[in-house]
Amino acid sequence: MKKVCLVIGAGAGIGGSVGKKFALEGYHAALCRRSDAEGLNTLVEGIEKLGGSASGHLVNAVKEGAIESLVEEVEKIGPIDVVLFNLGAQIGNRSLDDTALKTFELGWQMACFGLFRLAKVLFPLMEARGGGTVLVTSATAAVRGNAGQHSHAAAMGGRRMLCQTLNAEYASRGIHIAHILIDGAVDAPDTLGKMLGPEMYAELRKTRGMEHDGLLLPEKMAETYFHVSQQHRSAWTHELDLRAFSDLAWWNHAP
Amino acid sequence: MKKVCLVIGAGAGIGGSVGKKFALEGYHAALCRRSDAEGLNTLVEGIEKLGGSASGHLVNAVKEGAIESLVEEVEKIGPIDVVLFNLGAQIGNRSLDDTALKTFELGWQMACFGLFRLAKVLFPLMEARGGGTVLVTSATAAVRGNAGQHSHAAAMGGRRMLCQTLNAEYASRGIHIAHILIDGAVDAPDTLGKMLGPEMYAELRKTRGMEHDGLLLPEKMAETYFHVSQQHRSAWTHELDLRAFSDLAWWNHAP
Amino acid sequence: MKKVCLVIGAGAGIGGSVGKKFALEGYHAALCRRSDAEGLNTLVEGIEKLGGSASGHLVNAVKEGAIESLVEEVEKIGPIDVVLFNLGAQIGNRSLDDTALKTFELGWQMACFGLFRLAKVLFPLMEARGGGTVLVTSATAAVRGNAGQHSHAAAMGGRRMLCQTLNAEYASRGIHIAHILIDGAVDAPDTLGKMLGPEMYAELRKTRGMEHDGLLLPEKMAETYFHVSQQHRSAWTHELDLRAFSDLAWWNHAP
Amino acid sequence: MKKVCLVIGAGAGIGGSVGKKFALEGYHAALCRRSDAEGLNTLVEGIEKLGGSASGHLVNAVKEGAIESLVEEVEKIGPIDVVLFNLGAQIGNRSLDDTALKTFELGWQMACFGLFRLAKVLFPLMEARGGGTVLVTSATAAVRGNAGQHSHAAAMGGRRMLCQTLNAEYASRGIHIAHILIDGAVDAPDTLGKMLGPEMYAELRKTRGMEHDGLLLPEKMAETYFHVSQQHRSAWTHELDLRAFSDLAWWNHAP
């Protein structure tokens, strides 16, 4: 029985690419997303064509009991050894007036409460098996709050602290939690592409994506996600950043 | 009509002391807490005996519409010029197993969502009057997550980012948001006293509170809260820490 | 005999304004700068005209023994109770190629080594008298390194850590060290004015200094410097930021 | 001609292990340390026995011109593609009184000025070749200053900012600078072993080094150092931490 890498938030960007990487390295990739069964099938079939093992799971993570059921379902395929928690709460910039209470709450439910619920149900299983890895895709909104990011930043900032409290309680018990700060635009048709529309997206890839790597390329990011999951327990990384060489770090301003 | 300082979370520690300070400086102190009408009356009467103006408001801040109604009610007394948001989510150390979903959610509702709701309803009023000040009592859980602090740290970490997004949107429109990191034990009978019980509390005050100031003294903290609220807008502080001289900073370990 | 506030780096901006504030509050202000005896006299006479006590001291702080002699000299006037360490290492943006080894070393000597030397000679005196306060004017270069800031950022970043090690060793022995992050342009003719030239400076004051307070105003900053020095030891601030209400925080980017 | 990995600070711990890793991956490892020709030979011969290519260089890095000559000398072997800057300034805990001016300066010269000098001489060469990688071994002293760490923390804190200014100027020109925060005790006979003495070191390895991995194991750390150097430029890591699973993160205190 293969070890399982569960991807919560498996679009055509980071989620799909990391799932594929783990599948090619011998894991079963359980790919989970909220909607678009067709897109999910495409990901699964793409992996299977390359000789990997994968399954697709449509789940609305914020629904009560949904994450809990997902873990139960996937554990029947095999033991979940790695989870990529890839849910975000980025909804673009919205003023305080334009951010409804429901929106703010939903951001927290997805990005922060979702990870807490996952840990509650999964960590006992992982601990009983001697350990596991949780890779959390984060954003600079977890470390600084820009204008218009009320919902996103509050959710991500809370989640970063949660990653630290989980790490403080579970690292010594074998569970490796890595908080991965993505600092820049990812070349992802499902998110960035949809946000910008096809024309602006194509334009951005041409200009910012100088020689195709001025944007963060998901398949390259996946290399580091995988490396972190394989680190020996004497030398674990809890936090790291990823950005394109041509991009300014979030803490920098142009001179 | 006096300017109002609204204290959300007015116990006998920081909240009560800051309220009293503002009352003695000429504000009306609107003191709000969830329960203990008697304790609240004691605070109000204490202020009135000193010649200050105060009112008490029993409010369960997490109830739908409660913060919104509170603002409406207090605005009838006078324009809210300063708010002390003093709600925390500290429930002591609890393992992941012992932290229920409801507990985690409640922490977020009080410490993080509560501030968002307050800003939604109050900032338009403040902006229309040319500005205002929001003082937020925070904790080191907002910047690092210790073991057993899942609920507290996730709520405080989210709120810290929210303070930054609010500041980014509203500072230039006249609203001063200050995030005050309390790093240490506060000499507060309502919280620390209840947590420890009367004997241990007395003992702690004797030992740690060397010459009575090895614990953070609320009436001394109130001096800085007040100063920050009076800073000229050309030189505002957004974040500062407060700790007793005899205490180790959170980032330090004993040599 | 009056208590002394020693200002190391007393120009017409922060240094002069803080010195004046302390003088008006009853301290003797010992104002020290490297050059411009005339400007220094102007500051001293300005304070004396207002009824305050002040003295001027021309010192090249990086010269061997200079800080040590200065402390000895000033202690003859009265016990140094507060020091404002106001030396920076800002030389504008310079590429790596254009930053000479000597320049990099000089930045460190002024901003970082200078504080270490001061602490070595002054802290034993302060401790013997039961305590004292060191206010350190810092910059965002202490917490993030922008392009072209090699010398400045390395010096300030090192100094910030030094402030923490000094605090860890000396806070419990009565010495209050406060690291004050200035995040924005200060309305200071001696530094900003000289850097920009009279025309651009006048222009900036008119545009950025909206209604005269879009730049950090030194006399307003001085209020907070003074407040921090007077905090009760049960509630000391070690780090705080100061910026104009209309300015973007360093961690923010325009939406 | 093989690409060269230059290790500045090549002892039997991180430096030697990273050098060996790069040599086994096809680089020439140029190992540089201040003293102990015999130990250096052992490292070189150990690599050669495994079929790798290596050379030893005895250099006192703080001597004027030393780093500059080293780069010139090593470039004759082959183009320096990767540098591990592994010089630290840890001298154990020393009070302010016990930290001489010379000691403080020496720490800065090694850990901070050394990297600046290296960048000045090496970056033009790397840039002309299209890029390169600089891996910097850092410590938690770069982000918080503990008591007794005056020299160490000031040097490391300055260097962290320098890494950011170098990154801001050179990342887009192809030079990848990675700041690697080592948070814990490394199982290194040359440093930890000498500091503790043979008996305490053996004892620590037995107790803290639970099943041999409660200490950071250099050969495992080397895997991550190497991975970072091979990251695709669309997804570079600038900062990451490394600690043993059983260790408390620096920001945590035991509950």
Taking phi over 0 as left and psi of -120 to 50 as alpha, with beta for the rest, C174 belongs to left
Measured distance CA(D195)–CA(D91) in Å, rounded = 9
Taking one residue from A and the other from C, the number of pairs with CB-CB distance under 8 angstroms is: 32
Cα of D67 vs its chain's centroid, Å = 15
- A253 or C54, greater pLDDT: C54
Q: Do C250 and A253 touch (CB under 8 A)?
A: yes
Q: Please tell me which of the candidates D93, D144, D255 has its beta carbon nearest to residue B251.
A: D144
Q: Which amino acid is at C156?
A: M
Measured distance CA(D144)–CA(D136) in Å, rounded = 17
- Kindly report the nearest CA distance between residue C9 and chain D, in angstroms: 21
Q: Please tell me which of the candidates C112, C141, C162 has its beta carbon nearest to residue D145.
A: C162
The band of D243, judged by pLDDT with boundaries at 50, 70 and 90, is very high
| Token pair of A145 as six digits | 């709050």
Q: Which residue spans within C148-251 are E strands per DSSP?
A: 175-182, 239-242
Specify the DSSP element, H or E, that contains C83.
strand C80-85
Inform me whether the pLDDT recorded for A211 exceeds 70: no
Average of pLDDT values for C25-33? 98
Q: Which residue spans within chain B are E strands per DSSP?
A: 4-8, 28-33, 53-58, 80-85, 132-139, 175-182, 239-242
In percent, the amount of chain A with pLDDT more than 90 equals: 85
Contacts of A147 in chain B (CB under 8 A): 165, 168-169
In percent, the amount of chain A with pLDDT more than 70 equals: 98
Q: Please tell me which of the candidates B147, B250, B252 has its beta carbon nearest to residue D255.
A: B147
Averaged pLDDT score across all residues of chain A: 94
Measured distance CA(B236)–CA(C184) in Å, rounded = 11
pLDDT of residue D146: 97
| Token pair of D165 as six digits | 């200014």
Inform me whether the pLDDT recorded for A6 exceeds 70: yes
Our separate counts of H helices and E strands in chain C read 9, 7
Helix axes B101-108, B150-170, angle to 10 degrees: 30
Measured distance CA(D214)–CA(D184) in Å, rounded = 9
pLDDT of residue B194: 79
Inform me whether the pLDDT recorded for C254 exceeds 80: no
CA angle A190/A191/A197 to nearest 5° reads 85
Average of pLDDT values for A174-201? 88
Helix axes B114-128, B150-170, angle to 10 degrees: 20
**Touching partners of D (3+ C-beta pairs < 8 Å):** A, B, C
pLDDT of residue A190: 75
Report the candidate in A104, A108, A71, A74 with the shortest Cα–Cα distance to residue A2: A74
- Residue A53 phi, psi (nearest 5): -110, 130
List domains and CATH numbers for chain A. 4-184+225-246 (3.40.50.720)
Average of pLDDT values for C164-178? 98
Residues in chain B predicted with pLDDT less than 50, given as ranges, are none
Interface ipTM: 0.95
Specify the range with the lowest mean pLDDT, choosing from A70-79, B118-127, D132-141, D200-209: D200-209
Contacts of D125 in chain C (CB under 8 A): none
The band of A235, judged by pLDDT with boundaries at 50, 70 and 90, is very high
- Kindly report the nearest CA distance between residue A247 and chain C, in angstroms: 13
Report the candidate in C175, C183, C182, C185 with the shortest Cα–Cα distance to residue C238: C175
Q: What is the pLDDT of residues A82-93, one digit of tens each?
A: 999 999 888 889
Inform me whether the pLDDT recorded for C209 exceeds 70: no
pLDDT of residue C240: 98
Q: What is the pLDDT of residues C58-100, one digit of tens each?
A: 999 999 999 999 999 999 999 999 999 999 888 889 999 999 9
Inform me whether the pLDDT recorded for C206 exceeds 90: no
List alpha helices for D109-217, DSSP H.
114-128, 150-170, 194-196, 198-207
- Kindly report the nearest CA distance between residue C141 and chain D, in angstroms: 8
Q: Do C174 and B240 touch (CB under 8 A)?
A: no
Q: What is the pLDDT of residues A25-72, one digit of tens each?
A: 999 999 999 999 999 999 999 999 999 999 999 999 999 999 999 999
Q: Please tell me which of the candidates A232, A240, A243 has its beta carbon nearest to residue D220.
A: A232
In percent, the amount of chain C with pLDDT more than 70 equals: 98
Record the pTM. 0.96
Inform me whether the pLDDT recorded for A205 exceeds 80: no
Residue B23: burial class (beta carbons within 10 Å; 0-12, 13-18, 19+): buried
Q: Do C164 and D170 touch (CB under 8 A)?
A: no
Averaged pLDDT score across all residues of chain C: 94
Contacts of D187 in chain A (CB under 8 A): 234
- D204 or A3, greater pLDDT: A3
Q: What is the pLDDT of residues D18-39, one digit of tens each?
A: 999 999 999 999 999 999 999 9
**Which DSSP state fits A113?**
I
Q: Please tell me which of the candidates C143, C146, C255 has its beta carbon nearest to residue A253.
A: C146
- Kindly report the nearest CA distance between residue D157 and chain C, in angstroms: 4
Other Cβ atoms closer than 10 A to C255: 13
Report CA-CA distances (Å) from A20 to A26, A189, A223, D114: 10, 16, 11, 43
Inform me whether the pLDDT recorded for D195 exceeds 90: no
pLDDT of residue D88: 86
Specify the DSSP element, H or E, that contains C205.
helix C198-207
Report the candidate in A131, A234, A125, A120 with the shortest Cα–Cα distance to residue A174: A131
Measured distance CA(C128)–CA(C174) in Å, rounded = 10
Residue of A nearest to D211 (CA): A234
Q: Are C12 and C201 in contact, with CB atoms under 8 Å apart?
A: no
List alpha helices for D32-149, DSSP H.
37-49, 66-77, 101-108, 114-128
